[in-house]
Amino acid sequence: MDPLDGTLNFVQGFPHWCVSVALWDAEGPVAGCVLDPLRGDCFLAVRGQGATWNGNPMRVSQQAGLDGAFLATGFAYQLGDRWPRFNAALGRVFPRAKGIRRAGSAALDLAHVACGIFDGYFELGLKPWDLAAGALLVQEAGGVITDWEGGQGWFESGNMVVGTQGVTRDLLVSLEA
């Protein structure tokens, strides 16, 4: 549970934060909810039952690849020794994307990938509470999640690459080039 994802945004008065709640078992996410109270948006997912946005079914975008994609990213103010890796990756991704946004709430960014606003998302060093609900939203909306090496260690490492199949594929190539 993350009762306030985007804490710094909230403190500073920047209107991009949410409440994120998830239930996980030994197999992974079972149920997840991301609530954006400022916009009245509720994103819900249950394993094997799809995902909804304000009660309507949602799907990831149809973006075929990184070229022309609208992306979200994130980086903590304490990025520290992860900065060189992130900065190099950003330099390779930026020229190909239509746009990249860093709004400061991983849970909302993941919800926005799940509903097709963003075509993909990448970040290093997330905490489990940052991604627990949003990951299920993306999976149930037809998206792909990997770690930065293309594996399934994203929950443990907090290093996520998320999006449509093509966007995720191209991001992985660009992140590790």
Report the binding-site residues: 2, 4-5, 130
Residue 98 DSSP code: S
The Cα 167–Cα 143 span in angstroms is 10
Q: CA angle, 12 as apex, 54 and 126 as ends, to 5°?
A: 65
Give the annotated binding-site residues for Mg(2+): 2, 4-5, 130
The Cα 144–Cα 33 span in angstroms is 18
The Cα 155–Cα 147 span in angstroms is 8
Alpha helix ranges (H) inside 64-140: 83-93, 106-114, 128-140
